[in-house]
A and B are shown apart, each in its own frame.
Chain A
Amino acid sequence: MRYLKYAWLIICLNVHAGEWSGYIAGEVRYFSHPPLSSEQYDDINVSLFAQPEYSHEWDNGYQNVVFVPFVRLDQHDSERSHFDIRELTWLKAADTWELRSGIRKVYWGVTESQHLVDIINQTDLVDHVDTEEKLGQPMINLALIRDWGSLDFFILPGFRERTFPGQEGRLLLGGMPIKTDQVQYESGAKDKHVDWAVRWEIMLDDWDIGLSHFSGTSREPRFIPEVDGLIPYYEQIDQTGLDVQFTHEDLLWKFEMISRKGEEGGVTALTGGFEYTFVGVFDTDADIGLITEYLFADYQTTMFENDMMLGMRFALNDAQSAELLAGIIFDLDNHSKFYMIEASRRIGENWKLTLETYIYSHIPADDLAYGFRNEDLVQLELAWYF
């Protein structure tokens, strides 16, 4: 609430020149299988959410403030009904540096199937299972922009816990409630631990290269099992990441790798593959893009230890921007499969309809994804943009 007060102060100061935009949306989810726990809801769930955005810039765009709150109201899951400040930030840019302070979202990386290197923001998992929704992270970020690339320094005061569905919600691993009220940390400072990170990025002709290091509280909790649920435990880690993209004509090669040191030693994970686009297929304006990525990890707390992702992106390139993304990730060891389809199109000037489907199939009992075996879902979303 403290942040909110500052937000209003900023808005009031700049009320004449700023601009509001954003969206209001409704979502319906349907789960075809019954839940694993009797407390969880069955079949249909309705949810409303909104993300307005206020922005104001001056100094020829070399300074701006941005405020992006987010709110969701969920029919069944009280944890999913939540509020967050995605962004509340002030930026000052100059010729050779940029300074950003406040609550922000930062994205690192190049691959499509998973985002290993991306670590600054905590995942808002209760909001969406695709792990692409992020919670706002307080930070001070100084970027030095030189001929040898750009170097970003981050100081990250304050840790955000990962969000999870409530015990009455769906997409809960094995139907086990996550006891977020009993959260544990390795650090004595708990969620007050100040993390830091640094990233160097350079573009060399066809190559885009990023090298990063993060030191602080892991964004991925481990779970301490109890009889009636799981307690999230956040350790201290040091993670170095590398991301590389090589772009040659219509072929994009993508690679990400991380090396993480924690309480239980070091682990490594990587994702790599390519994306190729066929332009103007079937004598139309449509494009078909093919994505292939290999996912590897030498630790067990991930679903992607030795997996392959095949994806297809179909874009009509029409006035409604109709698009379809279909993908499958299959485990090369035990043949479990995860299918996803995401389709969207604009309706009129301001509306957008999105259909998503996630299916977990052939999951053996020893696979981490076994807990999601009954969580196949279809989601329809209608958003109004202003």
Chain B
Amino acid sequence: MKRLVLISVLLCSYPLITLADDIASAKTPQAKGLAIAQMAEDRNTGWQDSEAEMVMILRNRQGRTSTRYVRTRSMEVPGDGDKGLSIFDRPRDVKGTAVLTWSHALKADHQWIYLPALKRVKRISSKNKSGPFMGSEFAYEDISSQEVDKYTYKYMREETLNGKKCYVIERYPAYKYSGYTVQVMWIDKKDFNPQKIVFYDRKRKRNLLKTLTFKEYKSYSVRGKIFWRANEFFMQNHQTGKTTSLKWKNYQFSKGFTKRDFDKNTLKRVR
């Protein structure tokens, strides 16, 4: 009996079990949607820090392409949004430009840009999350740190997508300046990775705007826990016919970054 108590204590204290229970026992679509989002966040918590290279290929309706190279560094901040540093390598005229972001769940993010020609660090307004990232089909809010509190949720149904059993949930941006009214999201039931997101526009009365597809998930082990990262994000804009393929390369974890690697001094120094 004692042993049984011990086991159940262990089970209860293990958050995955509790969250999985939450999904199963949720009484409303809102509660179930939130539970799925919390589960996804829980699965993706504890990676601490990472570094990766990003190659973006912008393609317009005529098929003409334009390429961007960005290096990114990120760090988890317990109880707050992640910190991120992006360093631009291409196009060459913006080489050396860097953006530092301290994201927050509920208040506006802090953001600075370093302009290498003037050696100037500029604090910028982070309200503009709906604007395009480097002229691509990705908005800043699409690639910024995804916190549970940034949305409210609603569970819709279960559906099989590309052979994967998925939860389909709707999420509504809590941020009033978001470019979207609603996003419909497919999350696979096994690993809780987003598989597809469909975006509906705020500007043009809830019209279908974009579809984001996550391709080729790869697993990374950080201190015994498995984390999944997609090799490619593919964004299709249905209104303009433009697409952006965002490919991730050389994902590295456990870089040992500290808050010092995400301050204004480092922003001025990175190359």
Question: Which residues of A does B touch, CB under 8 Å?
Answer: 21, 23, 55, 57, 61, 64, 66, 91, 93, 95, 98, 105-107, 110, 132, 143, 145, 150, 201, 203, 205, 208, 245, 247, 249-252, 277, 279-280, 283, 285, 287, 317-321, 346, 349-350, 352, 383, 385-386
Contact = CB atoms under 8 A, between A and B. Distances in A.
Contacts of B269: 61, 64, 91, 93, 98
A385 to B, nearest CB: 3
B132 A317 contact: yes
A55 B263 CA distance: 21
A57 B271 contact: yes
Interface residues of B, number: 41
B271 A55 contact: yes
B241 interface: no
B118 A279 contact: no
10 contacts: A93-B265, A93-B266, A98-B265, A98-B269, A150-B264, A203-B264, A280-B203, A319-B66, A321-B93, A349-B92
* CB-CB nearest 8 A-B residue pairs: A385-B92, A319-B135, A250-B127, A250-B125, A107-B119, A107-B120, A279-B128, A249-B127
A249 B271 contact: no
Contacts of B131: 279-280, 285, 287, 317
Contacts of B67: 349
B90 interface: yes
Given A249-B125, A277-B125, A283-B204, A107 B118 contact: yes
A85 to B, nearest CB: 15
Contact of B130 (A132, A280, A283, A349): A280
A321 B125 CA distance: 18
Contacts of B264: 150, 201, 203
Interface string B91-103: 1111110000000
Given A247-B123, A279-B177, A318-B135, A95 B260 contact: yes
Given A145-B265, A150-B265, A252 B203 contact: no
Interface string B241-264: 000000000000000001010011
Contact of B128 (A277, A283, A319): A277
A278 B128 CA distance: 9
A287 B128 contact: yes
B58 interface: yes
B44 interface: no
B135 A317 contact: yes
Nearest to A386: B92
Given A287-B128, A318-B135, A349-B66, A105 B119 contact: yes
Given A61-B270, A98-B269, A280-B131, A385 B91 contact: yes
Given A107-B119, A201-B264, A346 B132 contact: no
Contacts of A61: 269-271
B53 to A, nearest CB: 15
A37 to B, nearest CB: 32
